[in-house]
Structure 1
Amino acid sequence: MTGWLIRTFVPNAEDTGDPTVRTRYGLVASVTCIVCNALLCLGKGAVGVVAGSVSIVADAVNNLSDASSNVVSLLGFKLASRPADEDHPYGHGRYEYLAGLVVAVLVCAIGINLVMSSANKIAHPEPTEFGPAVVAVLVLSMAVKLWMATFNRRLGRAISSETLEATAVDSRNDVIATAAVLASAVVSQLVGIDLDGWAGLAVGGFILWSGIQLVREAVSPLLGKVPDPAYVEHIRDKIMSYPGVLGTHDLMVHDYGPGRQFASAHVEMAAEGNPLDQHDLLDNIEQDFKDDEGLVMTLHFDPIVTNDPQVRDMRHWIDLAVKDIDERLSIHDLRCVPGPTHTNVIFDCVRPTDCALSASELRARVSELVRDHYPRAVCKITVDESYVSSRQ
């Protein structure tokens, strides 16, 4: 079924980097889920009212809220597909993240509402009817929701969509919630104790907890979360694969929505080389990232002295020595300015965000380490923060 929907309604489905294709995926997922949730709401609502079950009625309201969430997702994909304009030169891709946040908040609201209604049922119990219709509608609901969870997860992973991933988790929660409602109804009939309110309370708490987790995940990209370490490593490996590149550092990746990433980095090359040739190489690297991955890359040239063995050896020693302080530390852009009484050793040191030492403490420790090995050295250190990972 999922494959048929993709083949029928998503032309060029394999080109997931195309914003138009992403929007198509989002539209198919949203419309499909709206229809399914609306039908489930009507079916469960009717059975829940007849049976007098607060948990079944709450489950039906949950489906109605899910349909509303799907409408939000639909609007999010549509708005995210709008092209860049004068006021938003980076496009509108973050609308998709906002839609995911709204969906997560709605999940929390559903959990709170279910907890309150269930607590009221516990405080003021009323008889709950149980029959074949209740079992049939709940089993059918679980089957549909299980398919929807799989459907949204597949599409969400295909286009790396936080919104569809959140919708998949919500559908999974619905399967668990409906299973709990069905189990409580069966147990209530067997032992003669009405557990409807308690089942609703447990389900509501689970949905609320899941919603809070979804809110955290949805807020993270809006705040500027660290990029995937595998993606960072891929960028570095690709830059280093070009002839003449000696190193790269100060990588930054900015996310303006799925498929709308921008990055910048410094590239170390031999100071003795032809600057026109080196500039041309950097232009080619930037263009390759744009053509191959749709990533807008800006590269800065850092000249490295390669024909002075003393400077080369010092750079290598310091880069290894700082790892005695913290194995994640690294240095770059080292150059030496010799004088009659001392030599200024100028370089940058990358400090992980969770490093135990402050920038000033780190600067002092590294300076002491270098001075013990090179007595004439006076370190001029710029402490850089890592913007891609505390593990790099």
Structure 2
Amino acid sequence: MSTFLFKIFIKDYENTRNPMVREKYGTLAGYVGIVSNMLLCTVKVIIGFLTNSIAIVADGINNLTDASSSLITLIGFKLAAKPEDEGHPFGHARIEYLTGLLISAIIIILGFQLLKTSFNKALHPETSQFSYITIIVLIVAIGIKIWQSRFYMAAGKKIDSVTLSATGADSRNDVISTSAVLLSVLINKVTGYQLDGIMGCLVAAFILWSGIKLIGETSSPLLGEAPPPELVNEILAGAESHEGVIGTHDLMVHSYGPGRTFASIHIEVDAERDIMESHDMIDNIERELSQQLNIHLTVHMDPVKLNDPLTEQLRSVLDKAIEPLEGVYGIHDLRLVSGPTHTNIIFDAVCSSTCKMKESEIQAIINKKIKEINPSYYVSITFDKTYAKP
């Protein structure tokens, strides 16, 4: 059903890397949510007042909040699709993350309100009137919410959207809350026990937990989370597949929102090779990977002097020195700067983000090994972080 709607309302729906297609997914999800949730809200509130059930009324108000969230989603995707301007040279795509964060906050507020109302109802239970029409409405509502959740999750997965994933989780919460209301109505009918307030408290606790979890998930991209391993591997593999590339390092990936990924990487080339040939190769790598991966890639060229006996000796010593150091993965940009009294051994050391050793400890160990070769050698290390073990 979800795929059918995508095909009907979204032109070129499979081209999800296109910002215009992405916007249409968000627009469709927003309209679907507004219409279906307003319908559910109206029916539930009427039934709740007729049967004197606070749980059903609260569930209906929850749907009104969902309609508001859908409106926020709709506006958020519209704003996120705005092109770059003077004040925002990388575009406005991060607004989508803010939209997801706002929806998560709304879920938490709703949970607190529902907890307060349900707690009062649990302390002062009131007799609710049983009606078969109530059962039918709740069952239909559960079915609609199950479809909604699957629809949002499918759309969110298609375009990798934290906002739609948060909205899908909210719809899943509604399935649980409405099921709890239905269960309390049936228990009251069979046993006479008033569980309306207690069920409301349990549902509110689950909604609060879900909202807090979603806050973490939707705020993570804003804090600067690590890029997907698949993207990292594709960039490295694509760069290293070109003949003439000796090695790669210093890969940095920054996201300014969905479809707005910027990356930079250093590529080592033979210093003896014609500079124009190397530069042409670098240009080709930038253009090909930018188009294939829908990113903005910048490549820095590092000339490497090959077949130098002293450099190769030092590299061998350094590789053996860092081998037992947990979290230190390798070195690059090794060069020697000689002076009248001493020689500086300059290079970068690649460390994982989970490396337990202090930089000063690593420097002391390596410096000791180098001075065993020549006491006039001094080590100068720049420490780099890596996303994953090479």
> Same-fold call, TM > 0.5?
yes
Q: Which residue of 2 aligns with 1:141?
A: 141
Q: For the residues of structure 2 that align with 1:208 and 1:28, how far apart are their CA atoms?
A: 27
Q: For the residues of structure 2 that align with 1:242 and 1:16, how far apart are their CA atoms?
A: 28
AA at the equivalent of 2:277: D
AA at the equivalent of 1:40: L
- Give secondary structure in 2 for the equivalent of 1:13: coil
**Unpaired segments ≥5 residues, structure 1:** none
Aligned residues: 390
8 Å Cα contact 2:327-2:351 kept in structure 1 = no
Cα deviations by residue, 1:358-380 (Å, 9 ceiling, x for unpaired): 32233223323444577664321
- Give secondary structure in 2 for the equivalent of 1:226: coil
8 Å Cα contact 2:349-2:382 kept in structure 1 = yes
8 Å Cα contact 1:251-1:265 kept in structure 2 = yes
Q: For the residues of structure 2 that align with 1:185 and 1:319, how far apart are their CA atoms?
A: 70
- Give secondary structure in 2 for the equivalent of 1:350: strand
Q: CA deviation at 1:231?
A: 1.3
8 Å Cα contact 1:351-1:359 kept in structure 2 = no
Q: For the residues of structure 2 that align with 1:82 and 1:268, how far apart are their CA atoms?
A: 38
* 1:251-330 equivalence runs, <5 A: 251-330=251-330
* 1:82-231 equivalence runs, <5 A: 82-231=82-231
- Give secondary structure in 2 for the equivalent of 1:11: coil
**What's the TM-score, normalizing by structure 2?**
0.94
8 Å Cα contact 1:149-1:169 kept in structure 2 = yes
Q: For the residues of structure 2 that align with 1:323 and 1:213, how far apart are their CA atoms?
A: 39
Q: CA deviation at 1:89?
A: 1.1
> Which stretches of structure 1, 4 residues or longer, exceed 6 Å deviation after superposition?
373-376
- Give secondary structure in 2 for the equivalent of 1:297: strand
AA at the equivalent of 1:311: T
1:62 aligns with 2:62: yes
- Give secondary structure in 2 for the equivalent of 1:324: coil
AA at the equivalent of 2:53: S
1:49 aligns with 2:46: no
Q: CA deviation at 1:333?
A: 0.7
8 Å Cα contact 1:349-1:384 kept in structure 2 = yes
- Give secondary structure in 2 for the equivalent of 1:366: helix
Q: Which residue of 1 aligns with 2:384?
A: 384
8 Å Cα contact 2:250-2:266 kept in structure 1 = yes
Cα deviations by residue, 1:317-348 (Å, 9 ceiling, x for unpaired): 52354131114532111123456876532111
In structure 2, relative to structure 1, the CA distance for the partners of 1:391 and 1:190 (3 Å cut) is: farther
Q: For the residues of structure 2 that align with 1:139 and 1:328, how far apart are their CA atoms?
A: 58
Q: For the residues of structure 2 that align with 1:278 and 1:103, how far apart are their CA atoms?
A: 49
Q: CA deviation at 1:125?
A: 1.6
- Give secondary structure in 1 for the equivalent of 2:246: strand
Q: Which residue of 1 aligns with 2:40?
A: 40
Q: For the residues of structure 1 that align with 2:319 and 2:265, how far apart are their CA atoms?
A: 19
AA at the equivalent of 2:344: N
Q: Percent identity?
A: 44
- Give secondary structure in 2 for the equivalent of 1:47: helix
In structure 2, relative to structure 1, the CA distance for the partners of 1:70 and 1:374 (3 Å cut) is: farther
Q: For the residues of structure 1 that align with 2:369 and 2:131, how far apart are their CA atoms?
A: 78
Range 373-382 or range 323-332, more displaced: 373-382
The CA RMSD over aligned residues, in Å, is: 1.9
Q: For the residues of structure 1 that align with 2:336 and 2:158, how far apart are their CA atoms?
A: 50
Q: Which residue of 1 aligns with 2:24?
A: 24
8 Å Cα contact 2:317-2:369 kept in structure 1 = no
8 Å Cα contact 1:363-1:383 kept in structure 2 = no
Q: For the residues of structure 2 that align with 1:188 and 1:294, how far apart are their CA atoms?
A: 57
AA at the equivalent of 1:184: S
Q: CA deviation at 1:26?
A: 0.8
Range 225-234 or range 316-325, more displaced: 316-325
Q: CA deviation at 1:162?
A: 0.9
1:8 aligns with 2:32: no
Cα deviations by residue, 1:257-306 (Å, 9 ceiling, x for unpaired): 10011111111111221222111111111111222222111111112121
**Unpaired segments ≥5 residues, structure 2:** none
Q: For the residues of structure 1 that align with 2:239 and 2:221, how far apart are their CA atoms?
A: 25
